Structure 1
Amino acid sequence: MTAVRLRRVNRRLVEGLRQDLADLYVESCVTDPGKEYRSPSREDFLNRLTGDTRRPGFAMVIAETDGLVGCAFGFPVRGDGFWWIGFEGALSRSIEQLTESSSVFAITNILVRPHPQVLGQDVARRLQERVLTDHQASLGTTLVDQADRRALEAHRSWGWQDIGEIWRPTGHTMFRVLVLPLGERAVARLEGLTHHAWTRWPG
């Protein structure tokens, strides 16, 4: 198996990779026949990518062998707490403090070209850890459509923890809020927050 290399790319390079990234998105989001959930379209993905690249602090890391096999990208969460608007219930004080200290990074997409299971998990873990480490973030966060059970289970296998629901009225969608603590201190601060959220997943 060819070794997977990680590389950080800037906005200019992302522009040149747009179609390759869209191909990667389509291949990584194959919907199982008969399932109710349908992933957003290629065009929707490209529109979201354009919006993300315009955000301050945008960053992307890609994984390559002889071609593109994965990517993770996102942006720092602002200390004003805007990211958490629409969160159902009370946000934990630990997460509020990490947000106020600009220690939270939103990873809006992790994409991995279909591989044998272990390799796919390893690439995803390396990508998400590299993005967070590059930004010296203590906590990663992401939003996953609660109807997308496949993506939710994939993120859980990569170490993400569910802390509840958030409503985004612009997309008229309820999302699961996932977090990924990085480092022993962040893990300790968030210990015990996620058990109840996992038990409330829809069956």
Structure 2
Amino acid sequence: MTTPSFEHYSAIRARELRAVVEDIYCRSYTEAIASGDPFDSPTEFMNRFDAYTDPRRSSGFELVLARVDGEPAGQTWGWPLPANARWWEQLTLDEGDIREFTLEDGSRTFALSEIMVCAEHTGQGLARALHDELINSRPEQRATLLVEPDNDRAYAAYLKWGWQRVGSLRPQWENAPKFDVLIYINR
């Protein structure tokens, strides 16, 4: 693979790339989109993207765009969880004190929302490079993400990269599936 270049964007700047974000999604999630699941439709995905980047709620949002030979090839994004974060609603924790685990102050936990790589660039290490580019630039103590339990490829990658399962939850998004919750401790 040609060495990718990375660009970092705030929520406001990410909104300016809306068409690029949607194109990468469509080129990355072809099977999920083809399944007909309403949650995976490009329209619903972009509705979620618009909510994530809403300037009234997106404090600390960061998008990393990867380019290969100058062309968009993948993206990842997330944000720090604020106090009283809705992220943890519906969480079933495998063990431990849920109140302590979910206590947020805006600097404890980074929510990694998406990592996606266009189909023509998969299997070349770009997902890991995107992950590391974003996570390694974050000051938070830990990161969290949601993964569908049957997404074997992504799940295996996250575990290999140092993530650990801590529980499960179903987000409040319409038609959202139940996800496993993973945690990564920043070193």
Deviation at 1:98, TM superposition (A): 7.7
The residue aligned with 1:5 is 5
TM-score by length of 1: 0.72
- State whether structure 2 residue 83 is matched by structure 1 residue 79: yes
**Aligned partners of 2:173 and 2:23: how far apart in 1?**
26
1:67 to 41, 64, 71: 71
Return the offset for 1:59: 0.9
Identical pairs, percent:
25
Distance 1:59 1:164, change over 3 A: same
- Root-mean-square deviation (CA, aligned residues, Å) is 3.1
1:112-156 Cα distance to aligned partner (Å, 9 max, x none):
122252x2xx32222223323333122111112345445434434
Q: Report the counterpart of residue 52 of structure 1 in structure 2.
A: 52
- TM-score, L = length of structure 2: 0.78
CA-CA distance at 1:12 after TM superposition = 3.6
| AA of the residue aligned to 1:76 | P
Q: What residue is the counterpart of 1:30 in the other structure?
A: 30
Q: Read off the aligned partner of 2:113 and give its amino acid letter.
A: T
List gaps (5 residues or longer) in structure 1.
Answer: 184-203
* Native 8 Å contact 1:76 1:102 kept in 2: yes
Distance (Å, rounded) in 1 between the aligned partners of 2:168 and 2:76: 22
Higher share in helix = 1
CA distance in 1, matches of 2:36, 2:43: 20
d(CA) in 1 for partners of 2:181 and 2:47? 22
Q: Residue 131 of structure 1 corresponds to which residue in structure 2?
A: 134
Q: Relative contact order, CA 8 A, sep 6+: which one is greater?
A: 2
What is the alpha-carbon distance in structure 1 between the residues aligned to residue 95 and residue 51 of structure 2?
26
By how many angstroms is 1:38 displaced?
7.9
Q: Extract unaligned runs of 5+ from structure 2.
A: none
Q: Helix, strand or coil for the counterpart of 1:136?
A: coil
Aligned length: 179
